[in-house]
Amino acid sequence: MNGQKQENKLGVMPIGRLLVSMALPMMMSFFIQALYNMVDSIFVARISENALTAVSLAFPMQNVMSAIAVGTGVGMSALVPRALGQNDRKKADAVANTGIFLNLVYVAVFIILGLTVVSPFYHMQTDIEEIVTSGITYLRIVWLLGFGVFFGVYFEKMLTSTGNATLAMASQASGAVFNIIFDPLLIFGIGPFPRMGIAGAATATVLGQILAASVAFSLNLKKNSWVHLSLSQIFRPSAESARGIYQIGIPSMITIGLNSITSFLINQVLLTYSTTATAVYGIWLKLQNFCFMPAFGMNNGMVPILSYNYGTGAISRVRQTVRYALTSIMSLMVVLSIVLELIPGKLLTLFSASDNMMGIGMTALRILLVSLVFGGGSIILSSSMQALNHAGYTLIMNILRNLVLPAGFFFILSSIFHDLDKVWFAVPVAEIITFCLAVFLYRKMTEHLKKLKENRRELHDRGEA
């Protein structure tokens, strides 16, 4: 009965109300995730500009962890409900426990990387001692204690995949609130806490992640009756389950991982101008990620609606869903862009910007903020194509948008103009080109959907005859 009610909701409820009911909880969830990165950078900037640069350079490497964690979680969260829907609890348990084993492997790998790779990674980018020392301290703590990232994402996805989205949000919120409270306490040594500087920022982050993972794990044990976690099964992983997790999860890993590669490449360009430029770019990445949270939430609410109605042949509802989602997100991005264009100085002040950073950042943010509208539109259209059985188009879009175009234009504009103010145009140019391509591919896809609808109608008419 519950399954039938959900089908009726997806296929019958007015699209506007349906989108709101599906997307708002996911928007809140993504908003909570974005707080981690924003809070760290705001408080770290109060230590020094070099400390902020160190954290900005660490961001791509943190993103690698997130890519692996999210990809594994996505794979598990697709397979577990599918197995439960087939009334195969044994398979669901095998997938859930195998995913835990995979995360234990990741933890071991990043402990080794934390002990061996971190120092060479910073020394290859800069010779400024404060940046190198601060960066090594920060990234080493984040990698050595990274089990909170992997298991936090995994157990949160386990809750969501079995219909406990509210509990998943509660686990994320616990970690975010902890991070917000303890960041200043540990960085600046307020009250009984020691003054730890940038090590305090890293410690607050990993402790917040560990708390979120612990809460999510506890909620799964107490509230999630759909899967059974077993130590004996964890250490006897299923090869079939691992294959299934990676078949579904690797595309997500690649998509998120491309951002890490792109950030690293762009930082190399910006370092030829100044370390302050990389700090400004780091601020932009956190701000951009924060602004795109509504789009990511809309995606997660939109995809089930598109998938269901595509399966039933309700193409008009498919188009209506995309139109509503695209219009609302692009309108919101326009408003955000206008508001933020009026206060770039205040945004930079949050990060304790020096006069030099203010001079670079004011120009940079005013140029970069133009990209929000087109980026938001690309996110919606890209996910729409993936949900409507055109994943090839989405893959093209993701590679171009997240790697080839932004990194390429940073190198090209820098080589041509040798002017930092002009280099920032790489981001809006890349987003505009990507959005135009997304519109073209989406229209091409809709032609296919139109033919599909006509073919179904023809088959239906023949059947009646």
Residue 442: CA count within 13 A, CB half-sphere = 21
Q: What angle do CA 448, 452, 457 make, to 5 degrees?
A: 150
Q: Pick the more confident residue, 70 or 436.
A: 436
3-state secondary structure (DSSP) of residue 273: coil
- CB 130 within 8 Å of CB 120: no
Of 370, 365, 427, nearest in space to 401 by CA: 427
**Residue whose pair of structure tokens reads 């171009």 in the numeric block:** 400
Q: Is pLDDT of 1 > 50?
A: no
pLDDT confidence of residue 99 = 96
Q: Which range, 10-14, 79-83, 113-117, 160-164, has the best average confidence (pLDDT)?
A: 113-117
Mean pLDDT within 148-164: 86
Average pLDDT over residues 395-405: 90
Instruction: Give 124 or 457, the one with higher predicted confidence.
Output: 124
Mean pLDDT of the chain: 89
Look-up of token digits 């729409």: 384
Nearest to 70 by CA among 13, 10, 130, 29: 29
Res. 346 pLDDT band, cuts 50 70 90: very high
Please determine, for residue 459, whether its predicted confidence score (pLDDT) is greater than 70: no
- The per-residue pLDDT for 9 is 65
- Predicted local confidence at residue 456, as pLDDT: 64
In the prediction, which pLDDT does 40 show? 81
pLDDT higher than threshold 90 for residue 304: no
Q: What is the DSSP string of 224-252?
A: --S----HHHHTS--HHHHHHHHHHHHHH
Kindly state the average pLDDT of the residues 79-85: 77
Which of these ranges, 15-24, 69-78, 158-167, 269-278, has the smallest mean pLDDT?
A: 158-167
* Per-residue pLDDT band at 241 (split at 50, 70, 90): very high
Lowest average pLDDT, out of 157-166, 246-255, 378-387, goes to: 157-166
> Which of 110, 138, 375, 108 has its CA nearest to residue 259?
375
Q: Given this model, what pLDDT does residue 453 score?
A: 67
Q: pLDDT tens across 85-105, in order?
A: 778 889 989 999 999 999 999
- What pLDDT, on the 0 to 100 scale, is given for residue 22? 75
pLDDT at residue number 364: 98
8 A C-beta contact, residue 35 and residue 176: yes
pLDDT tens for 160-191 read 777 676 788 888 889 988 998 999 999 999 99
Q: What is the mean pLDDT of residues 376-381?
A: 95
Q: What is the pLDDT of residue 366?
A: 97
> Which range has the worst mean pLDDT, 296-300, 340-344, 387-391, 454-458?
454-458
Q: What is the pLDDT of residue 332?
A: 96
- In 86-164, which ranges are continuous DSSP H helix? 89-116, 118-123, 129-144, 147-161
**Contacts with 94 (C-beta within 8 Å, 6 or more apart), sequence order:** 233, 238, 240, 241
12 has pLDDT over 50: yes
